[in-house]
Structure 1
Amino acid sequence: MKTHEISLAIKQLASDDGVVREKARNALVAAESRDVTEALIAELVDYRHQVRWEAAKALSQIGDPIAALPLVHAMDDDDHDVAWVAAEGVAEMGEVGLQAVLSGLSHSSRSGSFYKVAHHALKEIRKHGKHRDVVAKVMATLEGVEPRLSAPIAAYEALQELRGNGSPANGPAH
């Protein structure tokens, strides 16, 4: 897909016609190039919720690991539908998605709705079976009384464990 074709398809994501938006999204997904991924990432902050939703959906379908952190940021979107689509996209990215969610959770300045969406992403990641114990610990903090205080610490420790650095509470991993 050429640059002008990408630009046109991106513009079509703002169409009032759902069929036009879906065709544009499908064309962008089919192209699967780094230029497409970067253009879609830029649209995650568009002022129109439907453009953000289409961008999150397309990025989720493409599955390029460079979109993991931008999708985690989109999980904090004011529009719940955008946040939910972003969470599902990150969950499909496996290990990269898990690390991105944990990284996002390790920053304590998130909205309350972010924690609910992050819980959904982790639940979807857990279904894939890998790192179930690590995911379960973090999910427990998200289900607890004060996730804004406990989740960032649990997420940080989980990241350390995944990276093989051990966690401060458990010592080095062997």
Structure 2
Amino acid sequence: MRVEELIQVFGTENGKDREKAREALVKIGKGAIASLLALLEHPKYIYRWEAMMTLKDVEDESLVPVFIEKLTDKEHDIRWIAAEGLIRQGAKSIKPLLYLLIEKSESVFVVAGAHHVFYVLKKNNQLPKGFLYDDIMPLLENTRHTEQLKVAGYKLLHEIGAS
């Protein structure tokens, strides 16, 4: 099946068919990304959800900015999938996530997403040398520390060698 035919399956009631379509699109990989990105603004939630579920499994670091942006989505499921996508991208997602955290440290959505990403990357031994996990995690657990979180974000960027 072609990309557009697989995407049409996202609108069906059959969850197994949608899952198979996602798997086929992941195998297509980069060739499906543009069509999937277009779905992120679809008026029907199921298309947005299916597109995010597919994109999170495509290994392409060009998707990091998409996942970063979707950490602020109004839908909880989309934000969670975005965090999972950042986790899948591994260490490549850390600097962009720190920049977002500095910019939007008052956002409960961003703070929760960063907490989840950093926690899983730590568990998977994917945090870079110099990442001060024990310094930032307590700040991510208490949303009243927005200014301290910004400072910690800058400090972490410096420690891991951000340019």
Same fold (TM over 0.5): yes
142 and 31 in structure 1: CA distance in 2 versus 1, 3 angstrom threshold:
same
CA distance in 1 between partners of 2:136 and 2:43 (Å) = 32
Query: Secondary structure in 2 aligned to 1:45?
Result: coil
TM-score, length of structure 2 as denominator length: 0.82
Cα displacement string for residues 108-162 of structure 1 (whole angstroms, at most 9, x for unaligned residues): 2763233112211111111122337433333222123514333233223322322
The residue correspondences of 1:6-155 to structure 2 (distance < 5 A) are 6-33=3-30, 35-108=31-104, 111-129=107-125, 130-131=127-128, 133-155=131-153
What displacement does 1:55 show? 1.7
Which letter does structure 1 place at the counterpart of 2:134?
Answer: A
Which string of whole-angstrom CA distances, capped at 9 and with x for unpartnered residues, describes residues 77-132 of structure 1? 22212211211121121111222321221212763233112211111111122337
- When residues 27 and 141 of structure 1 are mapped into structure 2, their CA distance, relative to the original with a 3 A threshold, is same
Give the letter aligned to residue 89 of structure 2: M
Greater shift in the superposed pair: 133-142 or 24-33: 133-142
CA contact (8 A) 1:83 1:117 kept: yes
RMSD over equivalenced CA pairs, Å: 2.4
Identity %: 27
Give CA deviations for 1:17-74 in whole Å, capped at 9, x if unaligned: 22232122111001112x3123223323333332222222211211210111111211
Distance in 2, Cα, partners of 1:43 & 1:158: 34
TM-score of the pair, normalised by structure 1: 0.78
SS in 1 for 2:104: coil
- SS class of match (1:92): helix
**How many residues in Structure 1 have an aligned counterpart in Structure 2?**
161
Contact map agreement 2:52 2:82 (CA 8 A) in 1: yes
Cα distance in 2 for residues equivalent to 1:66 and 1:155: 22
Cα distance change on mapping 1:10 and 1:112 into 2, 3 Å: same
* Structure 2 runs not aligned, ≥5 long: none
